[in-house]
Structure 1
Amino acid sequence: MSESNTASLSRRQFMQYVAAGALATAAPAFISREVLASTGQLNLYSWSDYVYPEMIDSFRQATGIRVNLSTYGSNDEVLNRLRAARGRGFDVVMPSITYTPAWVEQELLQPLDESRINVAGVIPSMWESSKTLGGVQNGSRYTVPFNWGTEALCLNTHVITPVYGELGFGSLWMPENKGRVTVRAHSSLLGIGLHLDDIGEVPSSRMRETYEDEGRMREIYSRLLDFAVRHKDWIVQFWSNAQETEAAFMQNDAVIGQTWDGPAMRMRSESNGKYTYLAPKEGAMTWMDSIGVPVGADNLDSAYAWINWYYQPAHAAIHVRLSGYNSCTQGAAELAGEAYAANFAAAYPGNAIENLWWYPPEPTWFIAARNEFRDRFLSA
C-alpha cells in the first residue's frame, strides 16, 4: 500500500472512531445573492497560523466581503481581550470548542441560528461530537466546528528515530534530551500527567479526574508540577504559538518537543523529513477549534458568510494545505494534496487514531487553576 493510500485509510478510521451517528441535512444556498453582491466587511480574530492571504482572497471573490484579520496565540489571549471589550470589536472568533462554556458563562458569545448554517458541509461525526465537546450550552449552539488537530511529538529525525509505540511524552525527559526540549508550559503538565498515569506513578484515569473535581485536580497537578520543575533544565525554549515552535527547532536546536501538528507538519514538508510529527504511545492530545460570533458583532451577515464559505470543501482545503491542520469540512482532506496525505500517514501510524486523547470541556475553575500551575512552573 502506498503512503497516500495509508493516509486515506487513517482518515477513514478517524471518522469511524469519532462517529456519533450520521446527520443528513439538505443544503440550501447559504451564500445568497445579496451576500455575493456585498461590499461589507468581516472583523475576524483567528489563531496566528489559521488564515492565509489565499483564503482571504478566495472569500472576497466568493462574497465581496473584505476581511480585517487580527491574530492571537492562545485561548486565554482571545478570551481575555473579548472580556475586556465586553464582546465587541470582532464578528468572528475561533476558540477551542472546549472553551465554549467559559465564553458562554461570561456572556461573550451569541447563540447561533443553525438555519443559516450549511450543516451538511460538516463531517457528520464532527458536528455531533462538537455538541458534547462544548459547542452546545443550555440547549443552544454557540460554536460550530472549524478544524481538529493534535499536540504530540515533534522530532529531529537526524537525532531521534521516530518509532511509534516506543516514544511517548516521557521521552521528552530522557537524560540524553536535557537542554534540547521545547514545550508549552500548561500542556506539558498534561503530557507529564499522561506519562505518569501510563507508568502507574500518578493514577488519574488518563487525567480525566482533573477535569471533574478541583480538589483532585490540585492534588494531581501538584505532583506534576514537582516533576516539571525538577526537569526544567531539559527545556531549551518554551513556546506559546506556532511561530515560536518553529523557532525552537530551526534556531535553538531543539531535537524533541511537545507541539501542535500544524507547525510540525509544515516543517516536515519544508525540511524533506528532517523534522517529523508522531503520536505518542499515551495518545495524541486532540482538540477541536471552532467558530463563534461575539455578542457585539457588527457584521452578522458577514459572520455567517464566513462559516458557510469554509463549509465548502475546496475552500477548507486551502486551509488544510497551507496550515497542516485537519478540517471539519466534509471532503476537504481529499482535496488537500499529497504532502498533507504523507504527513498524516507519518503522524498517525498503527492504532494512533483509535488512541487519540480528546480534550474534554474545560470548566472556568479548571482554566484558572491550570493557569496558576502554569505560572508556578514558568517562574520556578
Structure 2
Amino acid sequence: MTRSFLTDAASRRTILKSAGLLGAAAIGAPMIVRKAFATSGELNLFSWGDYIYPEMIEGFEKSTGIKVNLATYGTNDEVFNTIRASGGAGYDVINPSVTRTPQYVEFDLLQPIDEAKVNIDKIIPSIYESSKSLGGESAGKRFNLPFNWGTESLCFDKTAVKMGYGEASYGTLWQPEFAGKVTCRANSIMTGIGLYLDASGKVPSGRMVDTYKDEASLRRVYDEIVKFALENKASVGQFWTNAQETEAAFKQNGCVIGQIWDGPGMRMMTEEPDRFAYLAAKEGAITWLDGIALPKNAENLEQAYAWINWYYTPENAAIHVMKSGYNSCTADADKFAGDVYAKNFAAAYPDDAIANLWWWPPEETALANIRNEYRDKLLAS
C-alpha cells in the first residue's frame, strides 16, 4: 500500500506543527524571492472548477502584473484528454491528481519542474516527500508538485439522516430508506462499494489495494462490485461529475445522502451548518492529492513559476482553503483559513479518521482504462 503522509497524525494541526519543526532542513531547497512583474504577460491556467476563485486571481494579478486566463474542468479524464489532444500545448499550469502523473509521463505530456525556481520549503515537508512515491516523480525528475489534498466520503442532510462517526459506512448509502435519494460519482462509488464489501468480508480485496496490482486482480473484485452497484442502481437519484452537480443534487434534486468530495460538503456545512454534515466513513475516507504540473509545451514558464510561488505563500493559499473547503499543501495555510475551516475539519475527521484515510494509489494507464470500462457499464445499464 502507498504510504500516507498522514498515517500517524491525530489532526491536521499536528501535521502542520510537525512540518514546521522539520522546516527547510527537511527539504534543503533555497527560498526563491520573486520580483513583482510590472508588465509580465499572461498565464494560461487550466484547473478544477472549484479550485480558483476571483479573489485568488485578483491577488495574483495585483502582486505580479500577470494576467490570468482561467479555464476549468470537472474530471481527471477531461484534463488528461485535453492535454493529450493538444500535445501538451495551450496551457501553462494544470492541476491533475498526483497519482495520474504516470499517465502524462507515458505520453510525454509534461515537462520536468525546475525545483530551484520553486519555494519548496513552503510545502508541508511530509506531503512533499510522500508525493514522490504517489507519482509526482519519474526517473528522478519531478513532474507534479503538491497543490492540495482532500477526500471523498459521506455527506448527508441531518434533517433526514441520523448517524455518527463509526457507524457511518459506504454501505449506509444502500439502505432501503434512502432509495432514490443517493448521489454519487460513477467511478469512485465503486471504490466505496469495494471498501464496504472488503470490510464486511463479502469480497476481500486487501482494502482495494489488490485492484491496483494487475488486471486479473482488478477484474476479480470489480466483477463483484459492478454486480452490487447494478443491483442497487435504483437507489441513485443523481450521478454527479463535478462539484456544482454535487451541491445541486442536495439542494435542488432531492438527495439526502451521498458519496462526494469534501470541498462541496464543507461549503454546504459552512452555508447551512444545521442541515448538512460531511463525515469520514468507517471504512476510511477516500483521499486524493492534486498537484501543480507544467504541460510539455507551456509557453509562459516564468509566469507559471510566479503562480506556483504565489500559491506557496500561506496567506494566499488560505484564500483557496476558505473558498473551496479543500486542504492546501502550503505549510501554515490553515493558520490563516479561519475558525470555520478548523471547526468543519474537526467535525469531518474525528477520532481516528485521519489515521484511517484510504489513499488513491498511482495507477497504470492500462488499469485505469479497465476501471473506466466498469464505470461505463454501470452508467449504460
How do 1:123-202 residues align onto structure 2 when only pairs under 5 Å count? 123-202=124-203
Q: Could you say which residue in structure 2 is the equivalent of 1:251?
A: 252
**Cα contact 1:18–1:126 (8 A) shared by 2:** no
Contact kept, 8 Å, 1:150 with 1:287, in 2: the verdict is yes
1:32 aligns with 2:35: yes
1:103-147 CA distances to partner (integer Å, 9 max, x unpaired)?
Answer: 010100000111001000000001001101100011100000000
Give the Cα–Cα distance (whole angstroms) in 2 for the partners of residues 115 and 282 of structure 1: 40
CA displacement, residues 37-66 of structure 1 (integer Å, 9 cap, x when unaligned): 243100000000000000000001111100
Instruction: Pick closer, same or farther for the CA change 1:257–1:17 going to 2, 3 Å.
Output: farther
Q: Distance in 2 between matches of 1:314 and 1:270?
A: 23
Matches of 2:29 and 2:153, distance apart in 1: 37
Q: How does 1:283-294 map to 2 (within 5 A)?
A: 283-294=284-295
Show the counterpart of 2:101. 100
The answer to whether the 8 Å contact 2:10/2:355 transfers is no
CA distance in 1, matches of 2:17, 2:170: 26
Indicate how the Cα distance of structure 1 residues 277 and 18 shifts in structure 2: closer, same or farther if over 3 A, else same. farther
**Separation (CA, whole Å) in 2 of partners of 1:123 and 1:354:** 17
Q: Do 1:42 and 1:67's aligned partners in 2 also have CA atoms closer than 8 Å? A: yes
Aligned twin of 1:49? 50
Which residue does the alignment assign to 2:334? 333
- After superposition, the Cα gap between the structure-2 partners of 1:214 and 1:349, relative to the gap in structure 1 and judged at 3 Å, is same
- What is residue 232 of structure 2 aligned with on the other side? 231
Kindly state the Cα deviation for residue 365 of structure 1 after the two structures are TM-superposed.
1.0
Contact 2:31 2:118 in 1 (8 A): no
What letter corresponds to residue 53 of structure 2 in structure 1? Y
Displacement, 1:73?
A: 0.1
Q: Distance in 2 between matches of 1:48 and 1:334?
A: 25
Structure 1 residue 218: deviation in Å? 1.1
Secondary structure of the equivalent of 1:170?
helix
- Structure 1 residue 261: Cα displacement: 0.2
The one-letter code sitting in structure 2 at the alignment partner of 1:78 is: V
Distance 2:293 2:326 in 1: 19
Alignment of 1:270-281 (within 5 A): 270-281=271-282
Q: Does structure 1 residue 84 correspond to structure 2 residue 76?
A: no
1:210 is aligned to 211
- Structure 1 stretches (4+) deviating beyond 2 angstroms? 12-19, 24-30, 36-39
Deviation at 1:215, TM superposition (A): 1.2
Q: What is the CA distance between 1:28 and its match in structure 2? A: 2.8
Residues in 1 aligned to 2:250 and 2:318: alpha-carbon distance in whole angstroms: 27
Amino acid at match of 1:243: Q
Query: Gaps spanning 5+ residues in structure 1: where?
Result: 1-7
Aligned residues of 2:10 and 2:354 also touching (Cα < 8 A): no
Secondary structure at the aligned position of 1:308 is classed as: helix
Cα deviation, residue 29, structure 1: 3.3
State how far apart, in whole Å, the 1-side matches of 2:187 and 2:313 are.
34
Matched-pair contact (CA < 8 Å) for 1:14–1:353: no
Q: Alignment partner of 1:28: what SS?
A: coil
Once residues 286 and 160 of structure 1 are traced to their aligned partners in structure 2, the CA distance between those partners, rounded to angstroms, is 24
Task: Establish whether residue 356 from structure 1 lines up as the match of residue 325 from structure 2.
Answer: no
TM-score, with length taken from structure 1: 0.94
Q: CA deviation at 1:9?
A: 6.5
Q: Which residue of 1 aligns with 2:4?
A: none
Distance 2:199 2:84 in 1: 38
> Is contact 1:112-1:293 (8 Å) kept?
yes
Check conservation: 2:30, 2:116, Cα contact below 8 A: no
CA deviations 1:326-365 (Å, max 9, x no partner) are: 0000010111011111110110011000100011101101
Task: Give the SS at the match of 1:29.
Answer: coil
Q: Deviations over 1:125-183 (max 9, x none)?
A: 01001101100011100000000000000010111123000011010011111111000
Q: Secondary structure at the match of 1:120?
A: helix
Query: 2: distance between equivalents of 1:279 and 1:16?
Result: 23
Aligned length: 370
CA contact (8 A) 2:185 2:259 kept: yes
**Matched-pair identity in %:** 54
Cα distance between partner residues in 2 of 1:93 and 1:269 = 28
1:320 corresponds to? 321
Residue 3 of structure 1 corresponds to none
TM-score normalised by the chain length of structure 2: 0.94
Change (3 A) 1:253 1:14: farther
Report the equivalent of 2:5.
Answer: none
Contact 1:156/1:274 (<8 A) preserved = yes
Supply the AA of the counterpart residue of 1:81.
T
Aligned to 2:120: 119
Tell me what 2:6 maps to.
none
Query: How far apart in 2 are the matches of 1:61 and 1:124?
Result: 29
What secondary structure sits across from 2:72 in the alignment?
strand
Quote the Cα distance in structure 2 between the aligned partners of 1:336 and 1:175: 39
2:370 is matched with 369
Conserved in 2, the CA contact under 8 Å of 1:152 and 1:277? yes
Q: 2-side partners of 1:174 and 1:226: how far apart?
A: 17
Q: Displacement of 1:266 after TM fit?
A: 0.3
Tell me the CA shift for residue 32 of structure 1. Answer: 2.6
* Conserved 8 A contact 1:183-1:257: yes
